[in-house]
Amino acid sequence: MRHAVVRSIPWEGTLQRVWDYPADHSADYSAGGPNERPRLPHGATIVMVHGFRGDHHGLLRLVEELPGHRVLLPDLPGFGQGQELSGTHDVATYARFIRDVTRRLVPEPRVLLGHSFGSIVAAEAAALDPDLVGILVLVNPISAPALEGPSRAASRLAEGYYVTADRLPEAAGRALLSNPAIVRGMSIFMAKTKDRNLRRWIHGQHDAYFSSFAGRRVVLEAFRASISGTVRDRARELTMPVLLLAAENDDIGSVAGQRELAALIPHATLEIIPDVGHLVHYEKPREAALLLEDFLENCLKDAPA
């Protein structure tokens, strides 16, 4: 288990939290079988951005698979231990937060990684500041608007749920957002693994952390941001090497949609991970880490001296 230095970061009149995991240079990087990590000569720091209603806990399995890297893992403002902002919790605001944290705490070379809603935020931050990171990694990237196509009705239904929770009295609204049956239903929808122990663990993670938010306004604003934007909005502006780690059975982002997204990004590499859905970071962290390591090694090997 890796141990982090927890940093408190003043940001726009609030106090935000960042988990800083130092690299473990004693880790075994001997190359070999399909489940072993390649040897990496570089020391790129990875900044990770979690998804909607998550916090830093959601990406810890991926952190554990990348011991040779320093990893910074902030809670987005209003989620986990992040304080609520006075302004709107939207993609632009979260992107500025990630940019500022990265600039303040991370020397080059920098890698930015985002999962799900975090992929939209990471893409926005990278487009906003083209020199921010040398490499962008998007896990289960949001490739198509939730308000278009077959998911439109479900997205509108979910929006109604969040609007209702926001309009109810405080106690009733929080109870609705944290309702165990609803949280479990969301978890069941996303989990694809047939491993009963892993499914049980995933449900436990969602039970423990899916309702860790500062206020109902935060959740509603972030949800509206999550269904309004996509990585596609900034795709052509992502001029750095971009790795898309998509999933074969992702109900939120189809393989066809991911291929269309990859075609829009100037220097994109698309990897489809089989037998997994929207929870690559929970169900296939080793596979994702190996693909990421290979990509970083190739990019840095080909970079000019």
40, pLDDT greater than 80 = no
The percentage of the chain sitting over the pLDDT mark of 70, rounded to a whole number, equals 92
34 confidence band (pLDDT: 50, 70, 90): very low
Q: What value does the mean pLDDT take over residues 162-181? A: 95
- Which pLDDT score is estimated for 61? 97
How many CA atoms lie less than 13 Å away from 106 in the CB half-sphere? Answer: 33
Q: Which of 28-32, 67-71, 183-187 has the lowest mean pLDDT?
A: 28-32
- 230-243 pLDDT tens trace: 999 999 999 999 99
Q: With 90 as the cut, is the pLDDT of residue 267 above it?
A: yes
Residue 145: per-residue pLDDT:
80
Domain range list for the chain: 5-145+229-302
Write down the pLDDT at residue 39. Answer: 42
pLDDT given for residue 300 in this prediction: 75
**Predicted confidence (pLDDT) per residue in 201-211, tens digit:** 999 999 999 99
In the predicted model, is pLDDT for residue 30 greater than 90? Answer: no
Tens of pLDDT, residue by residue over 96-142, are 999 999 999 998 889 999 999 999 999 999 999 999 999 999 999 99
Q: What is the pLDDT of residue 149?
A: 55
Q: Is pLDDT above 90 for 261?
A: yes
Task: Kindly indicate the confidence band of residue 1, based on its pLDDT and cuts at 50, 70 and 90.
Answer: confident
Average pLDDT over the chain, rounded to an integer: 91
Give the rounded percent of residues in the chain with a pLDDT score beyond 90: 81
Tell me which of 39 and 295 has the higher pLDDT. 295
Q: Is the pLDDT of residue 148 over 70?
A: no
| Residue 63 pLDDT > 50 | yes
8 Å CB contact between 277 and 247: yes
Decide which of 87 and 150 is more confident.
87
Which phi and psi angles does 151 have, rounded to 5°?
A: -90, 0
Q: 5-145+229-302 is classed in which CATH architecture? A: 3-Layer(aba) Sandwich (3.40)
Work out the average pLDDT over 59-82.
97
Does the reported pTM lie above 0.85? yes
pLDDT over 60 at 297, yes or no: yes
pLDDT of residue 151: 65
